[in-house]
Structure 1
Amino acid sequence: MDLLFRSKYNNFLSDCQLPNPVPPAHPLNSSLSLITFADLSHNSLSSSIPDAFGKMISLVHLNLAYNDFPGSIPKSFNNLSRLQSLDLEANSLTDQLDKFLDKLSGSGKSLQILNLGLNQLRGTLPDFTRFSSLRELYLPYNQLTPTSFQQVLPNLGALNLHRNRISGMLPDLTVSQSLTVLNLGDNSLNGTIDKSVGQLSGLEYLDISSNSLEGVISEAHFSNLSSLKILDFSFNSLVFNISSNWIPPFQLDVIGLASCKLGPDFPKWLRNQNN
């Protein structure tokens, strides 16, 4: 990372109060084909995303977060065949998610991190398997609707779909053994939680709070979760039926079980949580 920040081909203009809209003569509208890292976050830019970014064919990392860019990305983003991370969090994007991703098809083999949280993106979750290198996907606070998770989870290490419009049953999570972060909180998921979730040995963060999940939670749901640090099952209709002599395989930093049924006695297994 030190080498990255020393490179003369990086462009850091975060929180600089850039002119809005970007004028035609501005360097952003030049063909800066050697730039590998561009950061223009936190500038309150509200015009359309400049087409010139698609001419920066060497871009590896692009951060346009916390502006007010409307609509979608330009078709020229298809030229960014080296792009590894794209951060567009907290803008005013309103595109259908599948159409948005079509404009990133040139990054299908390179894109590893995609953050589109805090926008107004619509539609179902499309097939993400076209992004063969994608490891982290952040889509919280959008307007995404039910879909099959089978085309989303494989190969992902982090998936955040907090506060969308996702409904239906909780998917079979064992299709992605590489998951370390899973946040499906504040949606409309229903049904029970399958015991297979306990097989995700690399999972560190699990949040399925504020849904309509129900049923019994037993030791089997946590059997191999030895890496778990954050667990939030709050505001579901879940009943915990845990043996009094059970010793969890994890040490949690944060636990949320509000509105779950734990009684009548205080859970003895919580006494082993020393962090």
Structure 2
Amino acid sequence: MVSLVHLNLASNDFAGSIPKSFNNLSRLQSLDMSRNNLTEQLDEFLDKLSGSEKSLQILNLGWNQLSGTIANFTRFLSLRELSLNNNQLTGPFPTSFQQVLPNLGVLNLHGNRISGMLPDLTMSQSLTFIDLGDNSLNGTIDKSVGQLSRLEHLDVSWNSLEGVIFEAHFSNLSSLKFLDFSFNSLVFNISSNWIPPFQLDAIRLASCKLGPDFPEWLRNQNNCSQLDISGAGISDVVPN
């Protein structure tokens, strides 16, 4: 079936690895094999998609048992959505991951065992969705994340991130709707007169240090339907 453009094999019981013949799918634009029992090494899986390096735009391999490290995706120049959530990926991001993926809009690596520092993603200015939650990432969050002006969803919860969060981390995030920094060792140092460039629907900052005063910037978030600032070290009075 060398003319295949879209292939959806999600939510089955496929196990093991994919056949080498996938390399013949030179026109493939989207591949969804999420929610199966694939156990292949990620780099071996991608080698079998080398025939679609120029065409592949959407790759969803979430909820499998893929192992190994984060591979070099920069050869897939047309990639718009990459979902590898809830697998068994380990190790740090490779240096190549910081190279340009100009069309990447969705990056979902939630629920793996990825370690090391957060990559610099500012080369991918098309990003609207980043979910790196429930991994083993450490180090700090670079202020450059604040330059992703199209970003709507940012989740780095349940990692081992540390350091100070300033206004600069959000300076150009005018499209942001969902923010989850929960269960990291992050300290917010935000001016009391700072006015955020965004209106958030969900704010999850559990266990981040926001106090001792109540964060004034939260009071103008008029669209918020979820607010979790539990364990935030606030000792102020309950505000209006």
The alpha carbon displacement at 1:95 in A equals 0.3
Which of residues 104, 107, 114 is equivalent to 2:52? 107
The alpha carbon displacement at 1:149 in A equals 4.5
Amino acid at match of 2:200: L
Q: Is 1:142 the counterpart of 2:87 in the alignment?
A: yes
Which of residues 128, 134, 141 is equivalent to 1:193? 141
Q: Is 1:116 the counterpart of 2:61 in the alignment?
A: yes
Structure 1 runs, 4 residues or longer, greater than 6 Å off: none
- Assess if the C-alpha contact under 8 Å between 2:182 and 2:208 holds in 1: yes
Give the direction of change, closer, same or farther, for the CA distance of 1:149–1:181 in structure 2 (3 Å limit).
Answer: farther
- Assess if the C-alpha contact under 8 Å between 2:92 and 2:117 holds in 1: no
* CA offset digits 1:2-27 (Å, max 9, x no partner): xxxxxxxxxxxxxxxxxxxxxxxxxx
Q: Is 1:215 the counterpart of 2:160 in the alignment?
A: no
TM-score with structure 2 setting the length: 0.89
Amino acid at match of 2:218: L
Q: How does 1:87-102 map to 2 (within 5 A)?
A: 87-102=32-47
In structure 1, distance between residues paired with 2:44 and 2:161: 31
Larger relative contact order (Cα-Cα within 8 Å, sequence gap ≥ 6): 2
In structure 2, distance between residues paired with 1:220 and 1:149: 26
Q: How does 1:1-275 map to 2 (within 5 A)?
A: 56-152=1-97, 154-155=101-102, 156-275=104-223
- Aligned-residue RMSD, C-alpha: 1.1
Flag the structure with larger Rg.
1
Higher mean displacement: 134-143 or 153-162: 153-162
- Size of the aligned set, in residue pairs, is 220
* CA offset digits 1:32-60 (Å, max 9, x no partner): xxxxxxxxxxxxxxxxxxxxxxxx11111
Amino acid at match of 1:121: L
- Assess if the C-alpha contact under 8 Å between 1:229 and 1:254 holds in 2: yes
Q: For 1:179, what is the secondary structure of its paired residue?
A: coil
Give the direction of change, closer, same or farther, for the CA distance of 1:149–1:175 in structure 2 (3 Å limit).
Answer: farther
Q: For 2:113, what is the secondary structure of its paired residue?
A: coil
- Assess if the C-alpha contact under 8 Å between 2:31 and 2:59 holds in 1: yes
In structure 1, distance between residues paired with 2:11 and 2:68: 22
- Assess if the C-alpha contact under 8 Å between 1:150 and 1:175 holds in 2: no
Q: Name structure 2 gaps, 5 residues minimum.
A: 224-240
- Assess if the C-alpha contact under 8 Å between 1:162 and 1:186 holds in 2: yes
- Assess if the C-alpha contact under 8 Å between 2:93 and 2:116 holds in 1: no
In structure 1, distance between residues paired with 2:170 and 2:94: 21
Q: Name structure 1 gaps, 5 residues minimum.
A: 1-55
In structure 2, distance between residues paired with 1:242 and 1:162: 28
Q: For 1:198, what is the secondary structure of its paired residue?
A: helix
* CA offset digits 1:158-215 (Å, max 9, x no partner): 1111011111111222222221111110001111111111111111110000000111
Give the direction of change, closer, same or farther, for the CA distance of 1:205–1:199 in structure 2 (3 Å limit).
Answer: same
In structure 2, distance between residues paired with 1:170 and 1:75: 33
In structure 1, distance between residues paired with 2:184 and 2:74: 31
Amino acid at match of 1:188: S
TM-score with structure 1 setting the length: 0.78
